Amino acid sequence: MEEDCIFCKIVAGQIPCAKIYEDEKVLSFLDINPISEGHTLVIPKAHAENLWEIAEGDLAAVHRASKKIIQAMKEVLNPEGVACLQLNGRGVNQVVMHYHLHLIPRVKGSDPLPVSSWEIKPGNQEVIGRLAEILAAKLG
Ligand code: 5GP
Ligand code: ZN
């Protein structure tokens, strides 16, 4: 448990949450400031800030749980779609520094989700190709 981490406090039961799912490694609850009806957060119980830090087993458990949760969402909310969003770092507006996956359903007839639409601009294929080579070499 990390001191001053709001999600660790939720895991410890020190702060209440609208819990929807729990297992050995994972906790899931509704977001307090929902972007849409049913906006859900899925978190590892063990503190890790982001995708760089999270243990592989916790990461797998979060995503396995999200598959169960999205099934329940489908049955309860019948959404047109669900956006999965996960931010890493303050530079991309991560506010709570405890890994969390957002599941954001768009219920039929509601407004489009801002997180799922952006302007399509073709990239520079040369730059894309060069960067792909550099990243692939790091991963190889
Ligand atoms: P992010 O760090 O990805 O930008 O977003 C953090 C999310 O956590 C926000 O959507 C915010 O509404 C949610 N959040 C922050 N504090 C609490 C809390 O105490 N309870 C719940 N349920 N959600 C929270
Ligand atoms: Zn934490």
Model-level pTM?
0.96
Is residue 126 domain-resident?
A: no
Q: What is the pLDDT of residues 26-36, one digit of tens each?
A: 999 999 999 99
Range of the domain at 73: 6-111
Q: Which atom of ligand 1 is nearest to the CA of 18?
A: 22
pLDDT at position 83: 97
80 CB contacts (<8 Å, ≥6 apart)?
106, 107, 108
Is residue 120 domain-resident?
A: no
The domain total for the chain is 1
Q: What is the rounded CA–CA span in Å between residue 47 and residue 31?
A: 18
Is residue 119 domain-resident?
A: no
Q: Look up the CATH number of the domain holding residue 33.
A: 3.30.428.10
* Helix (H/G/I), strand (E/B), else coil: 29: strand
Residues with CB under 6 A from ligand 1: 6, 15, 17, 29, 31-33, 41, 87, 93-96
pLDDT at 117 over 90: no
